[in-house]
């Protein structure tokens, strides 16, 4: 029995229970992931991290949450009051909604009822998540606009441009998955990965999705909408107390949401690792949730790792990367995937498929070598242009393209 059939027979109260469960999972996941992020980043920076509240500092985020709730709630005079209040609500509501279509377990028993831990199964489930994500961004953009101050406005502006550009790349990376699974529903995409995970078969799509999911959630190195070094706090500069807490919550739930989607689309969802399929029946099927959460935390660790490693991108570099690299690459990749798919459906001989693949590889290699050559040329030109400046008559650090021994030569 597939997930969609299992869910179809749910009575109303089971749906309600599942809704509450999903909400609880999200909130607890947020508390734990804030703690985990602080711990991991601390270890990466040779610190210990939170260790006071509770065992291993596990209750730190809870304490922070209580502190946030008790703080004074300010609304700036110049703010647009209605929009200022609505913005965090939009953000926090939208982030929970995408979990409705994420399958967290296979067949399980819940209060004596056979079902699956998935609220509903839409035939266009993945598009639904995209739609909800695009509504969620309204929260950030409106927060920036309604604050009535410059830095938040810039943050909101950046966020809106960022989302428009990276949503295109994200949507395109999903197309290859749709083509291969022949469906847009989350549960049938998982079914289609029985043999091979799409993360392996459609590796370029996987990479593009992972990059754009970081861009979509406003996380380092793409956290230009917050950019505390440039914009104070970006869109949430003027927010305090519970309204700020809602943005905080939304950011982390969003991270879990895009990680769950990545798990569902590319890593086989709640299924066990290949060869460990027997574990799926443990705990009456609930062990599949362990697999699901394990894969999600893998992505979460990636988020934290990126944050601990990479500096923030400059805005124009970020936009260029989105429009000039990610989108063209995913368009070309979709062409390749659909050609291969049509070939296999029309029963093309193996020779043709292999020849096509090799042809593509050859093209990619020649293109990259051309790019490398161009880079080398630009570098040489830069070196030339340096010689046009008269060298100063005092010691300076050696400039690129100038060795210590060659200094005299350039000076002359």
The residues near 149 (Cβ < 8 Å, ≥ 6 apart) are 76, 78, 237, 238
Rounded to 5 degrees, φ, ψ at 75 are: -125, 115
Q: Judged by CB, which is closer to another protein: 161, or 336?
A: 161
Q: Judged by CB, which is closer to another protein: 216, or 280?
A: 216
What size, in residues, is the chain? 412
Distance in Å, CB of 69 to another protein, minimum: 28
Q: Judged by CB, which is closer to another protein: 40, or 227?
A: 227
Q: Judged by CB, which is closer to another protein: 368, or 385?
A: 385
Distance in Å, CB of 312 to another protein, minimum: 15
CA nearest to 215, candidates 249, 250, 164? 164
Distance in Å, CB of 128 to another protein, minimum: 5
What totals of helices (H) and strands (E) does the chain contain, helices first?
16, 2
**Residue 408 to residue 411: CA distance in whole angstroms:** 5
Distance in Å, CB of 138 to another protein, minimum: 7
Q: Judged by CB, which is closer to another protein: 21, or 131?
A: 131
**DSSP one-letter string for 127-195:** HHHHHHHHHHHHHHHHHHHHT-SHHHHHHHHHHHHHHHHHHHHHHHHHHHHHHHHT---HHHHHHTTSS
What are the residues binding another protein (CB under 8 A)?
A: 80, 83, 122-124, 127-128, 130-131, 133-135, 137-138, 141-142, 144-145, 148, 153, 156-157, 160-161, 163-164, 167, 171, 184, 382, 386, 389-392, 394, 396, 399
**Residue 124 to residue 132: CA distance in whole angstroms:** 12
Q: Judged by CB, which is closer to another protein: 40, or 153?
A: 153
Q: Judged by CB, which is closer to another protein: 108, or 153?
A: 153
Look up residue 392 and give its DSSP letter. P
CA nearest to 169, candidates 6, 374, 319? 319
User: Does residue 142 contact residue 86 with C-beta atoms inside 8 Å?
Assistant: yes
Distance in Å, CB of 160 to another protein, minimum: 4
Q: Judged by CB, which is closer to another protein: 88, or 199?
A: 88
Q: Judged by CB, which is closer to another protein: 47, or 314?
A: 314
Distance in Å, CB of 256 to another protein, minimum: 21
**DSSP one-letter string for 322-355:** IIIIIHHHHHHHHHHHHHHHHHHHHT--HHHHHH
CB atoms within 10 A of CB 130: 16
Distance in Å, CB of 254 to another protein, minimum: 15
Q: What is the largest CA-CA distance in the chain?
A: 89
Q: Judged by CB, which is closer to another protein: 44, or 157?
A: 157
CB atoms within 10 A of CB 123: 11
Residue with tokens 């529903």: 185
User: Does residue 285 contact residue 105 with C-beta atoms inside 8 Å?
Assistant: yes
Distance in Å, CB of 83 to another protein, minimum: 7
Look up residue 397 and give its DSSP letter. P
Distance in Å, CB of 356 to another protein, minimum: 23
- Encoding tokens for residue 300? 């979460």
Look up residue 232 and give its DSSP letter. T
Distance in Å, CB of 51 to another protein, minimum: 36
- Encoding tokens for residue 134? 């695009």
Residue with tokens 């703010």: 79
């Amino acid at each position: 029995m597939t997930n969609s059939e299992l869910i179809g027979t749910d009575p109303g109260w089971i749906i309600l229970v599942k809704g509450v469960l999903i909400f609880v999972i999200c909130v607890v996941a947020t508390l734990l992931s804030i703690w985990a992020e602080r711990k991991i980043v601390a270890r990466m920076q040779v610190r210990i991290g939170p260790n006071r509240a509770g065992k291993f500092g596990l209750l730190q985020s809870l304490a922070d949450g209580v502190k946030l709730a008790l703080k004074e709630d300010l609304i700036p005079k110049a703010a647009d009051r209605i929009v200022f209040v609505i913005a965090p609500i939009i953000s926090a509501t939208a982030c929970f909604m995408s979990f409705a279509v994420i399958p967290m377990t296979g067949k399980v028993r819940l209060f004596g009822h056979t079902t699956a831990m998935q609220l509903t199964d839409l035939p266009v489930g993945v598009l639904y998540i995209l739609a909800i994500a695009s509504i969620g961004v309204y929260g950030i953009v409106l927060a920036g606009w309604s604050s009535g101050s410059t830095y938040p406005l810039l943050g909101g502006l950046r966020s809106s441009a960022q989302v428009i550009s990276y949503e295109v790349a994200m949507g395109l990376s999903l197309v290859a998955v749709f083509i291969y699974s022949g469906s847009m529903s989350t549960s049938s995409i998982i079914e289609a990965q029985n043999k091979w995970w799409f993360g392996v078969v459609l590796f370029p799509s996987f990479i593009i999705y992972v990059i754009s999911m970081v861009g979509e959630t406003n996380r380092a190195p793409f956290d230009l909408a917050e950019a505390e070094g440039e914009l104070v706090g970006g869109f949430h500069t003027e927010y305090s107390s519970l309204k700020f807490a809602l943005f905080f919550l939304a950011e982390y739930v969003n991270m879990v949401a895009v990680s769950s989607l990545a798990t569902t689309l590319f890593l086989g969802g709640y299924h066990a690792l290949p060869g460990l399929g027997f574990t799926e029946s443990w705990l009456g099927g609930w062990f599949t949730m362990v697999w699901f959460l394990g894969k999600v935390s893998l992505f979460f660790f990636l988020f934290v790792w990126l944050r601990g490693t990479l500096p923030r991108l400059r805005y124009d570099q970020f936009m260029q990367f989105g429009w000039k690299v990610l989108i063209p690459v995913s368009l070309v990749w979709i062409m390749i995937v659909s050609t291969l798919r049509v070939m296999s459906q029309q029963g093309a001989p193996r020779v043709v498929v292999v020849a096509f693949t090799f042809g593509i590889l050859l093209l990619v290699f020649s293109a990259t070598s051309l790019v490398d050559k161009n880079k080398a040329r630009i570098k040489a030109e830069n070196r030339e242009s340096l010689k046009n400046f008269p060298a100063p008559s005092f010691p300076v650090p050696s400039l690129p393209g100038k060795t210590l021994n060659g200094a005299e030569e350039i000076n002359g």
